[in-house]
Amino acid sequence: MILRFESRAIAEVVLLTALVLILTGPALGEDQKSEAAEALANATSEQVGKQAAELLDQLDTILTETQAYKERLLTASSEDSLVLQLQLATQQDRFLEALHQLADIAQKPEEGEVVDQLQSRTRIVLSEVSPIIWRLISEHRTLIDALRSKRQETVPADHAELEDKLLRLTTRLDRFYQFGWDHIQKLETLGLDPATDQAIFNDLLSTRANELSGRLELAILRISELKDRLHEIPGDADLTALLTANSKNLKTNAMSQTAVLNLMESCQLPTKMYRTQLVTTTQDLAAGLLDVKVTATIIKRGWVGAKTWMVDKGPALMVKLVLFLAIIFAGRFLARLVRKAVEKSLGRASVNLSQLLRRMIVNIAHNTVLGLAVLIALSQLGISLGPLLAGFGVVGFILGFAMQDSLSNLAAGMMILINRPYDVGDLVEISGVFGVVEHMSMVSTSILTLDNQKLIVPNSKIWGDVIKNVTDQKIRRVDLVFGISYSDDIPHAEQVLNEILAGHDLVLEDPKPMVRLHTLGESSVDFIVRPWVKTTDYWDTHWAITKAVKMRFDEEGISIPFPQRDVHLFQTKLAQHCKIEAEDSSSANTVSRDPDEIAGNEG
């Protein structure tokens, strides 16, 4: 085992290490590392040599397979190329796992010839690998810069694909940086001085952080410009594609900056300035607000920015606010004047309008003036009215869809407004409710019943049912029925009724009142009495005539019959006596009853 391991040339190990750097595979998980460390802790010197030899064989096999995949990749089609790239990714994971296991074996604390030789060889390999790592980082940065330069030659529709390629290259570059940090830790673990490599790595990290800081600022500026242009040209496909690509670019740079700053903090390099920028430009609160210094810097910058803004734009804003309030107050005053003017105009107009229609016209005039004042005031604050009105339209559509029942009430209110089946103050019977109309709106009608109960009826129920307006007409007929006995003088009773109607002040002469013999009832001869009165005098006339008829009939000796019924009782007597005989165990007795008693019991 020892001879086999010593036969390995250092250059071959360096080549294997460089390969794993090119492949940039992910590091082992913590669980895998802990399992490997536990296995090594119990391994003997011979077992360590055997494991090292097996790992070297495995690395040779992976290297051969990888080289074959790379050769096939040169002539492969597009679909086969994707398959080969996935296979290369699998190979890189296997290769890096084997190399990490080999590094863990080299760090075994036990002394022995195999372990000592392995550690010695590993130190030489690690010292030779350092320049390769830093060169690969520089080469990938150059590749990324070259790919970025193609943006000017690429049509906007292909920018998204270009950003995806940049994301993959940036992810690989971030892995190189992480590998560089792991490499420095390996040097220190094996007892080598990492000062030179640490200085180079720190310089690379600082340069990368500074570069990403500028790219973040540029991405934010481009996104802002594209959004402004999209407001001017809504729906432009090229602008939309560019905005999507720049948003991806911002996300990629922010992700890479986060990884770089984490490494800088591991190297104890200052990151406050970059963390602050990362939070303020990307609004990613988790990127640095947990850092007290970063939070303090953000608050301080915000306070300084607020003071600067107040000094620069505060006076102009105060003038706009004063002008805004002045326009609002002036609009309210003018709206009240318009309300009063419209109310007076409608009051003097000869057109007969319902109170609901009057109130609606007044409210529309008032709200129109007030709405115009609000829009003018908002325009003084620099608010664009076009998008605002469009937003109101969208909100109105959504509310209309969600409030279909209310809209049906509104439509019914419009029909009531146009057709005017009733008005405020009318006595109506609608939807089974009888009372006086107290209030009307476009949505509902308030009814005050005769016993002083207030009922609110939706307009949709009113318009879809029968509407009875009792007080719509100026005059109304009072329908009364009076009965006299069959033995009374009919012409005399008719004369008395006519005299009562003629002598009543509230009964109108035109139309002429009517007194007619109407029906011959079961117990009375009925007269119909139908005087015409003003609608407002209906119940007063009804009650007064009823009282006058009763008093006058009593004076004239005319009877008002009430329902009567004669009941005749018939009794039957039995023609013979009924005898009941009862027998018991000792004797037989005969009981005789009176026939009248038996008949009464049966009845």
pLDDT at position 594:
45
pLDDT at position 300:
59
pLDDT at position 40:
47
Give CA–CA dist 26/33, Å, rounded: 13
Answer for the pair 362, 339: CB distance below 8 angstroms, yes or no: yes
Give me the mean pLDDT over the 394-406 stretch.
60
Give me the mean pLDDT over the 21-30 stretch.
36
Give me the mean pLDDT over the 580-597 stretch.
45
pLDDT at position 592:
43
Give me the mean pLDDT over the 226-248 stretch.
84
Global pTM reads 0.43
- Does the bond joining 511 to the residue before it have cis omega, within 30 degrees of 0? yes
Give CA–CA dist 259/10, Å, rounded: 33
Answer for the pair 561, 519: CB distance below 8 angstroms, yes or no: no
Separation of first and last alpha carbons in the chain:
134
Q: Which of 53-57, 328-332, 432-436 has the lowest mean pLDDT?
A: 53-57
* pLDDT tens per residue, range 343-398: 888 777 666 666 667 777 788 888 888 888 888 887 777 776 666 666 666 666 56
* pLDDT tens per residue, range 282-307: 655 444 444 555 555 556 556 666 66
pLDDT at position 191:
73
Q: Which residue did the predictor score with more confidence, 350 or 70?
A: 70
Q: Which of 115-124, 275-284, 474-483, 517-526 has the lowest mean pLDDT?
A: 115-124
The yes-or-no verdict on residue 247 having pLDDT over 80 is yes
- Complete edge-to-edge strand list for the sheet that includes strand 467-469: 454-458, 444-449, 433-440, 427-430, 467-469
Structure-block tokens of residue 279 = 């939070």
pLDDT at position 517:
92
pLDDT at position 293:
53
Residue positions counted in the chain: 603
The yes-or-no verdict on residue 562 having pLDDT over 70 is yes
pLDDT at position 288:
46
pLDDT at position 169:
83
* pLDDT tens per residue, range 171-207: 888 888 887 888 788 777 767 788 888 898 899 989 9
Cβ neighbors of 322 (< 8 A, separation 6 or more) are none
The yes-or-no verdict on residue 229 having pLDDT over 80 is yes
Alpha-helical regions (H) of 190-236: 195-232
Give me the mean pLDDT over the 27-33 stretch.
40
Angstrom CA distances, 414 to 230, 425, 443, stand at 42, 19, 9
Q: Which residue did the predictor score with more confidence, 125 or 271?
A: 271
pLDDT at position 571:
60
Domains and CATH numbers, the chain: 2-267 (no CATH), 405-469 (2.30.30.60), 475-556 (3.30.70.100), 569-603 (no CATH)
Cα-flanking dihedrals φ and ψ of residue 339, to 5°?
-60, -50
The yes-or-no verdict on residue 482 having pLDDT over 90 is yes
Q: Which of 156-160, 328-332, 348-352, 551-555 has the lowest mean pLDDT?
A: 348-352
Chain CA centroid to CA 43, Å: 63
The yes-or-no verdict on residue 535 having pLDDT over 50 is yes
The yes-or-no verdict on residue 262 having pLDDT over 70 is yes
Amino acid at 32: Q
Nearest to 165 by CA among 257, 83, 248, 254: 248
Angle at 482 between CA 478 and CA 484, to 5 degrees: 165
pLDDT at position 551:
93
Q: Which string of DSSP letters, residue by residue, matches 266-310?
A: HTT---HHHHHHHHHHH--GGGTTTSHHHHHHHHHHHHHHHHHHH
| Mean pLDDT across the chain | 74
Q: Is the dihedral of CA 138, 140, 143, 148 positive or negative?
A: negative
The yes-or-no verdict on residue 430 having pLDDT over 80 is yes
The yes-or-no verdict on residue 502 having pLDDT over 80 is yes
Structure-block tokens of residue 332 = 């309210």
Residue with tokens 């009374």, as numbered in its chain = 488
pLDDT at position 514:
92
Task: Work out the percent of the chain whose per-residue pLDDT is above 90.
Answer: 10
